[in-house]
Structure 1
Amino acid sequence: MDTLDDLVVPEATVLEACGDTPLPEFGLIERVWNTDPIPSDRVESAAAEAVESLDFDDVPEGGEVAVGAGSRGIANLSSIVRGVVGAVRDAGYDPFVFPAMGSHGGATGEGQREMLESLGVTEDAIGCEIRSSMEVVRVGETDDRGVPVYADANAAAADAIVPVNRVKPHTDYDGPVESGLSKMLVIGMGKQRGAKTAHEWAIDWSFRNMIPEITGKLLAELPVAGGVAIVEDQFDDTALIEGVPPSGFLDREAELLERAYDLLPTVPFDDVDVLVLDRQGKDVSGQGM
């Protein structure tokens, strides 16, 4: 396997390719943001407080609550999930975590468990069982197009479902909701089968229209108690953790997406002629940057 040094283009090669073309003068600038992240020792309690906004009215005492966690490198993810799990248990319910990550982790139950563990979400760290399986159930189909809707079998069998995810702009499409709670329900909780179906239909339908409609179907058919939304600041620190109840779910997520756009770090120019990147990749963003 290539190392990072193997992938570096030698300076001599760059100079030879560029020739004697004179370069413009360079200057060093620094972008400064005033941020107010949640202190790391407050993240877990903030996540627990977010659970208070969710709707567990129809959940029996001791009922099972499926907490969805994804494959993205979210700041303080383990602490946030632990806070949600603890609050659910303190409320008198029995929580477990399930991977809500579509086909990531090699589209295997063990691979998705390992993906969570690589992000610090282990059973010891969060204080509850992780149930990882690629088995899904068909929840129904969309009204107009008849697109089948799938959900993780463990989550669908629980008395309540709580997705935990970061709300942020998506790199491939824009819409009222992009990356966040709704997309986790549709694609993450849909596992490999749901993700494949969604991506196939996205060609003709578009994610901006598909995600809200399928989310509405899932909210109507499954016991989604709401979700715990995370917004990060320009330095990828936790800026906000909020419980989003099922009532007004899509509307509130759209508002949180606007907040995420406000906190998105951007290049301080409207137009650039050349952009040189130190690092890019799928681990950084969907399109590499």
Structure 2
Amino acid sequence: METITDLIKNVPIPKMVKIRERYDESHIPADKIAETVTEQLSRDVIASRIQPGMRIAITCGSRGINHYAVMARAMVDFVKSKGAEPFIVAAMGSHGGATAEGQRQILADYGITEENMGCPIVSCMDTVEIGLSGVRHLPVRIDKHAAAADGILLFNRIKPHTSFRGKYESGLMKMMAIGLGKQHGAENIHHQSPAIMHELVEEYGLTILKNCNILGGIAIIENAYDETYLIQGLSPEEIITEEPKLKEISYQTIAHLLFDKCDVLVVDKIGKNISGDGMDPNVSGRFVQPKYCSGGIEAEKVVILDLTDETHGNAQGIGLAEVTTRRLYNKMKLEMTYPTGVTNTFLHLMKIPMIMDNDREALQLALCCCPDAEDQNNMKMIRIPNTAHIEYIEISEGLLPQAKANPNIEILSEPYDLEFDENGNLF
């Protein structure tokens, strides 16, 4: 690496400025979260389906959701109040290394444990076939414990998907088709053409609604600050008709960078708890299937510095960057990362970018390799903590004119030099 270090040692790193991006702050107060979940489940179209003595599976996935454990516990308590017996089932496709233990650990990281929930938590990778999809007559499988339950309550966040566009994207329909399908279901869908993935999610979901006792679900929408914007209880029928409307609302509430493009985008951390692709392409602009999706910022080079602790070494999405660090590389666990790639077939997500020994060299490498930069002496760089938290970010001086012209951006500092420790890593 001494040769590369020598080649880039004189590349200047632009001065940065702290800014705040302002978005709609509307949200449900934290002390009203459990109460709102209970109110939504109490709607007769859902509550009337829960009868005393029923054994009911409540789905929980791998995505980070604000107040996740509070909402899950509220669902458990409501089921108990109806005289039924709840249990939580891990419903996250192939995540957690496609192992029961890995999926149980993901839930535990969110505070979803048997002790906190007051009910059993079931995690296994075994599935059973519940029918054939209505259009293509493909076998549809779901978690065997959920299939054996007297009823299933769905629980998931509604948001734009990272690799396809359609009537249903990330939400309750996908939770059924892929989450409950475990590794088998996720693989069956992902191994079809990406062009029809949105059709398969709907097709599989409708098959599950027809052949399983889905009692309804709780759909969550978060605002740009990861606060709970909306909690909506949906009956099985409403999942079909109302989820597409909720998806459209989610497009308006998600965070997005208030800049169209930059030379270098620096992402401090990626992880499966942040996005299925490690970083949300609706922010980063780096889509798994750009043929079918677009949006986010246009960055000539992307640098990823580290992994979240919650991702447990799963570095899915690292292949969407050009540069990374040895720190991230050393944390990457192939046994956690590769099963997701085998399942979703997007093997390029696991490709390892150029590895630099520290943060300083990673930035310098990216900055010196931007031939399309408008002004080589005034590079435009943006640094974000991760794609889920972009309220407070850093921009280079070259972006200040745009920032000052945007009423939704607040300038928080004068320009300053980034500080690195003795090892060349950012403080």
Decide: shared fold, TM above 0.5: yes
| SS of residue matched to 2:89 | strand
Residue from 90, 97, 112 that aligns with 2:103: 112
TM-superposition CA deviations, 1:164-204 (whole Å, max 9, x none): 11111111111111111111111110111111111112x26
Counterparts of 2:276 and 2:7, CA distance in 1: 32
1:39 Cα offset (Å): 1.9
Residues 129, 26 of structure 1: alpha-carbon distance in 2 compared, 3 angstrom cutoff: closer
Equivalences for 1:214-225 in 2 at 5 Å?
Answer: 214-225=204-215
Does residue 281 of structure 1 match 2:270?
A: yes
Residues 18, 52 of structure 1: alpha-carbon distance in 2 compared, 3 angstrom cutoff: farther
| SS of residue matched to 1:105 | coil
1:170 maps to what in 2?
Answer: 161
Counterparts of 1:144 and 1:131, CA distance in 2: 32
Residue from 14, 37, 42 that aligns with 2:27: 37
1:6 maps to what in 2?
Answer: none
Residue from 131, 148, 156 that aligns with 1:157: 148
| SS of residue matched to 2:57 | strand
Does residue 251 of structure 1 match 2:241?
A: yes
1:22 Cα offset (Å): 10
Counterparts of 2:47 and 2:233, CA distance in 1: 12
AA aligned to 1:252 is E
Residues 140, 267 of structure 1: alpha-carbon distance in 2 compared, 3 angstrom cutoff: same
TM-superposition CA deviations, 1:86-143 (whole Å, max 9, x none): 1111122111111011122222223222221111101111111112222211011113
1:248 Cα offset (Å): 2.8
Which structure's residues are more often strand, by fraction?
Answer: 2
1:264 maps to what in 2?
Answer: 254
Does residue 49 of structure 1 match 2:47?
A: no
Does the 8 Å contact 2:159/2:170 carry over to 1?
Answer: yes
AA aligned to 1:139 is I
Residue from 172, 178, 185 that aligns with 1:187: 178
TM-score normalised according to structure 1 size: 0.87
Does the 8 Å contact 2:53/2:85 carry over to 1?
Answer: yes
Residue from 84, 90, 107 that aligns with 1:93: 84
Unmatched runs of 5 consecutive residues or more in structure 1: 1-8
1:27 Cα offset (Å): 5.9
1:19 Cα offset (Å): 5.3
Does the 8 Å contact 1:177/1:212 carry over to 2?
Answer: yes
* The 10-residue stretch of structure 1 (30-39 or 216-225) with the greater mean CA deviation from structure 2: 30-39
AA aligned to 1:276 is L
Does residue 227 of structure 1 match 2:217?
A: yes
1:18 Cα offset (Å): 8.1
Counterparts of 2:64 and 2:80, CA distance in 1: 25
Does residue 17 of structure 1 match 2:8?
A: yes
Does the 8 Å contact 1:172/1:286 carry over to 2?
Answer: no
1:151 Cα offset (Å): 0.8
1:59 Cα offset (Å): 4.7
Residues 21, 72 of structure 1: alpha-carbon distance in 2 compared, 3 angstrom cutoff: closer
Unmatched runs of 5 consecutive residues or more in structure 2: 280-427
TM-score normalised according to structure 2 size: 0.60
1:65 Cα offset (Å): 1.1
Counterparts of 2:123 and 2:145, CA distance in 1: 8
Does residue 196 of structure 1 match 2:194?
A: no
Counterparts of 1:147 and 1:204, CA distance in 2: 16
Residue from 229, 234, 239 that aligns with 1:239: 229
